[in-house]
Amino acid sequence: MGKYIIKRILIAIPVLIGITVIDYAIMCMAGSPLEMLQGPRVSEAAVEARKIALGLDKPFYIQYFVWLGQLLHGNMGYSIKSYQPVSDMIGSHLGPTLLLMGVSLLVSLLMAVPAGIYSAVHQYSKGDYAVVTFSFLGSSIPGFFLSLLLIYVFTVKLGWLPSSGMTTLGTEGGFSDVARHMVMPVIVLATSMAGSNIRYIRSAVLEILQQDYLRTARAKGIGRFKVINKHALRNALVPIVTVIGMEIPVLFGGAVIIEQVFSWPGLGLMTMSAITSRDYPVIMGVCLLSAVVVLVANLVTDIMYALVDPTIQLD
């Protein structure tokens, strides 16, 4: 296991470098951030001086190696807009994003696993059709549309839930206040993930239920509960773990839009602000973090394979 983890980390290093090169190239093709400063109150000489100070007058590849060299020394650069260290900005916004992602993932699993098992066990029943219909609706409805619909119903019409922020302005927050602000963003993210996961879990459990050893277990009179939850679910966990591992990067990207809609003070709101102002260092910092999240999620998924199924050997 240790050798496998070290091997995967060594493979991840050139992958990370390749991702950062592509991201930096695309970002430079979008235009210079100094174009946002040009106007009647800012002279061309001032813009040119700023360009030289930021090193934007150099070729693309030199700019990239300068950024990479600073990164290797633990410096992610400074925001062009706010002049704050990028690492501090990411650190201050990472907590709310992880909180929102973690709760959404947990809620989606609590919805998807029981629903998927029930749908597979009661195949072609009315309950099965209801669960499958919900899964298609959950995975098909756009997140921003569901967000606006929830805001209209629970904030505008009923006035039950706040529509923006993480805490109520003028208060110290607290668990109940944060929980009220999280309800709608969590519903949107969890619904989308649960819709996709239910179908995967249903298919995995259906395939396992048709195996010969489960028929033998039923014939021995073990009991329906143990047959499903001990034998069938355990062997269906490998595809379920795969789905969960794939959902983490998707959740990280989907949170960007949802945080923007609900003004959640996480990485999504910061990223959108950086993109609109072409804040290169902040954009590169978020892209690097996203790449690390994807690679770590894939590594954790592979490790979970061996824990769930002892027959899988990681060599």
pLDDT in tens, 52-78: 777 777 887 888 888 888 888 888 888
Q: Residue range 161-167: average pLDDT?
A: 84
CA distance 84 to 295: 27
SS3 75: coil
CA distance 126 to 100: 33
Task: Extract the tokens encoding 296.
Answer: 């770590």
The per-residue b/e assignment along 75-113, b for 16 or more CB within 10 angstroms, e otherwise, is ebbbbbbeeebbeebbeebeebbebbbebbbebbbebbb
pTM (2 decimals)? Answer: 0.79
Give me the pLDDT at residue 41, please.
66
**Biggest alpha carbon distance in the chain?**
86
With 0-12 CB in 10 A as exposed, 13-18 as middle and 19+ as buried, what is 70?
middle
First to last CA, the chain: 7
SS3 39: strand
Give me the pLDDT at residue 314, please.
59
Per residue in 171-209, pLDDT tens? 776 788 888 888 999 999 888 888 888 888 888 888 877
Per residue in 94-136, pLDDT tens? 888 888 888 988 898 888 888 888 888 888 889 889 999 998 8
User: What Cα–Cα distance (Å) separates residue 244 from each residue in 159, 251, 300?
Assistant: 34, 10, 11
314: which DSSP letter? -
Band the pLDDT of 231: cuts 50, 70, 90.
low
CA distance 273 to 243: 31
Q: How many residues does the chain have?
A: 315
Mean pLDDT lowest for which of 138-147, 183-192, 209-218? 209-218
Residue type, 54: L
Find out whether 310 and 12 touch, Cβ atoms under 8 Å.
Answer: no
Strand (E) or helix (H) holding 56: none
209-218, long-range: CB < 8 A, 24+ apart: 209/120, 209/121, 211/235
Closest CA to 72 of 278, 283, 288, 271: 288
